[in-house]
Amino acid sequence: MPPHVSQHVEDASNHMAPLVKFRQPEETDVKTPSQEDAAHKWPDPIPTYHPVNGWHAHPARKRDILAAHPEIKQLIGKWLAALLVTANLTIAAAAGLNWERIPWLALLAVVYLVGTPINHACAMIIHETAHDLAAVSVTANHAIALLANLPLAVPAAMSFRCYHLLHHSHLGVIGRDLDLPTLQELMAVGCSTCKKMLWHSLYMFSYGLRPLGWGVKQVSIKGEALNAALQIAFDVAMALAFGAPAVAYMFACTLFAFGMHPCAAHFLQEHYTIRVGVQQLQPQQQVQHQAQHQLQETFSYYGPLNPLILNLAPHFYDNLVYHTSVWEVMLEFYRRSDLGPASRVTRTMSQYQVSHGGKS
């Protein structure tokens, strides 16, 4: 199987903001790396991830990019968030006030073709704020994240900050990288085309429930409480002012923005092994790949929608395999019987500690 894309920015410890605090582990919570690995060793009949040795290349790549182009640190901004939020909330208000007079097919077209790309862009802004890249201060990044969250209808920004930083700091580590599908997802979905399509359509739900599936415990997250209170109050205000259909419009846009939509194909393109990769190699070649740490672990997209979706730059990546069609990404993932939620590259906690000098 081929591997996925992601952009390693900085270690999670460098980004922990005042609103986002991890619970201090109790004595009973502390496990050795071998104990963690044993806890996540699953029975053979269950489709498992593709394990690798060694650590991923993102930290070194980030270092090289910033050394060659330090001006990248200046690429921050906040006004796009305000523009996108205003645009989709205006559409939501209009939909709420006029939904009885708008043909369902026309409303669905607006949701899929206009509202969904806007909400997906808002989600990407939240991603940037998680790395403190939308503004200079942490507080400003929090504020932008909460603003960008408003059209999504569900509170997500502060929780995403916590779990996404763990994903970057523990990329591919089973039990720590909360972007990895859980055992329950692997068992329920497998490689069935219909189940994969349903799973992808409802991806926002499985993604949101993964901390529970992985047993990650956190307390004292003031940001999540603020995020939830603000979002609920805003949704109620929208419903009272423009009708419940306005909130339903926002939620529908978010559902598509994280599901079966070309804008959201990067959730598969980035992290799932769809392109040429180790699964299509002979066993001896797989061993050689792992021994030389040459296993490509991320995939970018440089097709025609790139400027509108993530606007990824191909610099420093021209020697890597990448995608050119978001439709092909989705269709290949649905169609192929060798692909499923388990099509991910992983490593154990023991390997992580070896690569990080014993740190966990």
Mean pLDDT in residue range 218-229: 80
356 contacts 173 by C-beta, under 8 angstroms: no
Q: Would the CA dihedral through 262, 267, 269, 273 be positive or negative?
A: negative
> Could you tell me the pLDDT band of residue 213, with boundaries at 50, 70 and 90?
confident
pLDDT at res. 345: 83
- Express each pLDDT in 271-288 by its tens digit: 888 875 444 444 444 444
The better pLDDT of the pair 79, 130 is held by: 130
> Could you tell me the pLDDT band of residue 15, with boundaries at 50, 70 and 90?
very low
SS3 of the chain: the string is CCCCCCCCCCCHHHCCCCCCCCCCCCCCCCCCHHHHHHHCCCCCCCCCCEECCCCCCHHHHHHHHHHHCHHHHHCCCCHHHHHHHHHHHHHHHHHHHHCCCCCHHHHHHHHHHHHHHHHHHHHHHHHHHHCCCCCCCHHHHHHHHHHHHHHHCCCCHHHHHHHHHHHHHCCCECCCCCCCCCHHHHHHHCCCHHHHHHHHHCHHHHHHHHHHHCCCCCCCCHHHHHHHHHHHHHHHHHHHHHCHHHHHHHHHHHHHHCCCCHHHHHHHHCCCCCCCCHHHCCHHHHHHHHHCCCCCCCCCECCCCHHHHCCCCCCCCCCCCCECCHHHHHHHHHHCCCCCCCCCEEECHHHHHHHCCCCC
Give the closest residue to 262 by CA, choosing from 120, 357, 142.
120
> Could you tell me the pLDDT band of residue 10, with boundaries at 50, 70 and 90?
very low
Q: Which two tokens stand for residue 177?
A: 């990288």
- Express each pLDDT in 176-210 by its tens digit: 888 999 989 999 999 999 999 999 999 999 998 88
For residue 126, pLDDT over 80 is answered with yes
Distance between CA atoms of 167 and 46, rounded to whole angstroms?
23
Distance between CA atoms of 303 and 312, rounded to whole angstroms?
10
For residue 36, pLDDT over 80 is answered with no
> Could you tell me the pLDDT band of residue 152, with boundaries at 50, 70 and 90?
very high
- Express each pLDDT in 320-353 by its tens digit: 778 888 899 999 999 999 899 988 888 877 766 6
pLDDT at res. 134: 85
pLDDT at res. 41: 53
pLDDT at res. 49: 57
Instruction: Supply the mean pLDDT for the chain.
Output: 77
Residue 47, CA distances (Å) to 174, 183, 184, 187 in order: 14, 9, 11, 7
For residue 261, pLDDT over 80 is answered with yes
Residue 312, CA distances (Å) to 7, 69, 345 in order: 10, 15, 22
Residue 230, CA distances (Å) to 18, 24, 130, 268, 283 in order: 18, 26, 18, 31, 53
pLDDT at res. 5: 30
pLDDT at res. 40: 52
> Could you tell me the pLDDT band of residue 29, with boundaries at 50, 70 and 90?
very low
> Could you tell me the pLDDT band of residue 48, with boundaries at 50, 70 and 90?
low
8-12, 28-32, 168-172, 297-301: segment of lowest average pLDDT: 8-12
pLDDT above 90: percentage of residues in the chain? 39
pLDDT at res. 151: 97
54-63, 150-159, 251-260, 301-310: segment of lowest average pLDDT: 54-63
Domain regions of the chain by residue span: 12-355
pLDDT at res. 34: 53
For residue 356, pLDDT over 60 is answered with no
pLDDT at res. 77: 60
